[in-house]
């Protein structure tokens, strides 16, 4: 591990080229030792595309609620109730899904962190792919949530209300799960995995292995990897001992992210923990200045 860490670290925030392992992020199939965990994660993630589609098509019920308040009558109240009930059920589904991800994600990290990290990523590519899928979903869900004016009724259970109070609730769930992982996996091992995942995604884009929609897929995974790293490492992703090449990561987002670049950069600006620390170089703060 020591040799790997010295490779990943530079004199300042690392300017070493992000480490590259040719992981198949599109079609990796599980090996025999991966099958059990793979099937478990696949079952959990099965409804994820439907949740994203539902968020994209979210219509909202603010108008019905407004009418029920401004012109109360059995008709307006019934219309508001009919609009709110399905929305609340969806919110509960998303919340319960986030809880399942909180339970599942540490298992993914632990499986990749046990033993030789580099060899794990080379051999357990289906697991690495599933980890990337989770990070991609989290990024896209939170972006769509931010674009929609979700109505969160006061009557929702307190924990659900707290969940939706966060600007990026799915990312927050993974952050919490990753921090709790310290009990079973060292922060050093987990941040190493996260930094390598970010490097794999960086290289997939910069070396044009990723094409079309896979470019944005990789950039989303890159960003969430950095966010999790920043919350898990006491010094964060931006300091002098970081294993992440922040400068290269920001540049590839700026040059390859197209119209989605600003949303991805905003995630780094506002969802990370250490960007505004005194130890963060001014050059990096300037790169990420809004």
Which pairs with CB-CB distance under 8 Å and at least 24 residues apart come from 204-207?
204/25, 205/252, 205/256, 206/248, 206/252, 206/256, 207/20
**133-146 pLDDT per residue, tens:** 999 999 999 999 88
Q: Any residues with CB less than 8 A from the CB of 211 and at least 6 apart, and which? A: none
Task: Note the pLDDT tens digit of each residue in 52-74.
Answer: 998 888 776 667 777 777 777 77
Note the pLDDT of residue 182.
66
Q: How many residues does the chain have?
A: 290
pLDDT digits (tens, 9 = 90+) for 29-56: 999 999 999 999 999 999 999 999 988 8
Q: What are phi and psi of 18, to 5 degrees?
A: -55, 135
pLDDT band for 14, please (50, 70, 90 cuts). Answer: low
Instruction: With cut-offs at 50, 70 and 90, classify the pLDDT of residue 11.
Output: very low
> pTM (2 decimals)?
0.88
Top-confidence residue, 83 or 289: 289
């Amino acid at each position: 591990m020591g040799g790997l860490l010295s490779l990943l670290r530079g004199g300042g925030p690392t300017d070493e080229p992000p480490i590259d392992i040719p992981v198949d992020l599109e079609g990796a199939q599980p090996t025999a030792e991966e099958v059990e965990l793979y099937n478990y994660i696949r079952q959990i993630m099965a409804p994820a595309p439907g949740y994203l589609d539902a968020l994209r098509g979210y219509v909202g019920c603010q108008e019905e609620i407004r009418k029920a308040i401004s012109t109360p009558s059995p008709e307006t109240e019934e219309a508001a109730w009919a609009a709110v009930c399905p929305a609340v059920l969806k919110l509960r589904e998303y919340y319960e899904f986030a809880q399942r991800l909180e339970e599942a994600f540490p298992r993914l990290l632990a499986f990749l962190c046990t033993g030789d990290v580099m060899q794990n990523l080379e051999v357990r590519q289906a697991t690495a792919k599933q980890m990337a899928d989770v990070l991609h979903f989290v990024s896209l869900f939170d972006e769509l949530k931010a674009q929609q004016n979700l109505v969160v009724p006061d009557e929702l259970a307190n924990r659900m209300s707290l969940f939706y109070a966060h600007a990026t609730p799915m990312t927050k769930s993974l952050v919490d799960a990753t921090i709790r992982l310290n009990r079973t996996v060292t922060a050093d091992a987990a941040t190493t995995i996260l930094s390598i995942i970010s490097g794999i995604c960086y290289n997939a884009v910069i070396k044009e292995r990723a094409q079309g929609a896979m470019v944005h897929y990789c950039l989303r995974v890159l960003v969430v990897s950095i966010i999790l790293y920043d919350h898990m490492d006491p010094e964060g992703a931006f300091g002098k001992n970081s294993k992440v090449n922040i400068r290269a990561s920001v540049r590839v987002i700026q040059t390859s992210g197209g119209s989605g670049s600003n949303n991805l950069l905003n995630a780094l600006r506002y969802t990370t923990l250490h960007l505004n620390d005194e130890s963060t170089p001014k050059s990096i703060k300037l790169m990420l200045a809004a």
